[in-house]
Amino acid sequence: MSGDFGVWLAAIATLAVFSYLWKNNPVFTLAEHLFVALTTGHLIVTAYFNIKEMAITPLIKGSVLWIVPIVLGILLYARFWKNLALYSRMPIAFLVGVGASLSVQGQVDASLVRQVTSTILPLNNINNILVVIGTVTSVTFFFFTVKAAKGPLASIGTIGRWMLMVAFGAAYGNTVMGRMSLIIGRFGFLMRDWLGVIK
């Protein structure tokens, strides 16, 4: 068994979380509060250093433009004063504008154009045919502004639904392994590093 205090601390934390599997309990609640506190603490510390290094230091060295994001950042806090609260919309508006635009770029490039490009396949083998049919039908599954279809369009919708179900089942089954890896890791820690019952 380990004689290291740190390992014991980690083992206790591990067991505290596992205890939740049985039911909610005070030890788990304690772990929860500590966890939230420390991670948010870390967030603030990281943010502090990021602001300092990325903005304040260059500003002091003469890159005057950095004053803009710093002012915007400070304005986020205007919301705590009733008569200033409106100004806090400016930094939010900035974050929203940049975020929305980055989102469009990413989605169009990687998720749209590239995915369509990858769907264009020579229809000379069964797998390619299935991928093209499957993609097209599962895209059309998402029509919103057409009435429930009848005839051929309805069967396209049905194929689409089946495609999605198989895809979801496959993805689910494929994930089980990754999730099991996680407890293998934690049990490994308990048995190897803490108890020393395996090598």
48-87 binders of another protein (CB under 8 A): 48-51, 54-55, 65-66, 68-70, 72-74, 76-77, 79-80, 86-87
Per-residue interface string for the shown chain with another protein, residues 161-190, x marking contact by CB under 8 A: xxxxxxxxxxxxxxxxxxxxxxxxxxxxx-
Is 30 a residue that touches another protein (CB under 8 A)?
yes
Closest approach of Cβ 168 to another protein, in Å?
Answer: 4
Is 2 a residue that touches another protein (CB under 8 A)?
no
DSSP-derived 3-state class of residue 2: coil
Closest approach of Cβ 57 to another protein, in Å?
Answer: 9
Number of residues that bind another protein (CB under 8 A): 144
What is the b/e burial string over 102-124, where b = at least 16 CB atoms within 10 angstroms of the residue's CB? Answer: eeeeeeeeeeeeeeeeeeeeeee
Is 3 a residue that touches another protein (CB under 8 A)?
no
Closest approach of Cβ 155 to another protein, in Å?
Answer: 14
Return the residues of window 88-147 that contact another protein according to CB under 8 A: 88-124, 127-128, 130-147
Closest approach of Cβ 70 to another protein, in Å?
Answer: 7
* Single-letter amino acid code for the residue at 135: T
Cβ atoms of residues 154 and 177 within 8 Å: no
Place of tokens 């990281």: 46
Q: Give residues with Cβ within 8 angstroms of 31, minimum separation 6.
A: 13, 16, 17
Nearer to another protein, 155 or 184 (CB): 184
Q: Give residues with Cβ within 8 angstroms of 27, minimum separation 6.
A: 16, 19
Place of tokens 């260059």: 58
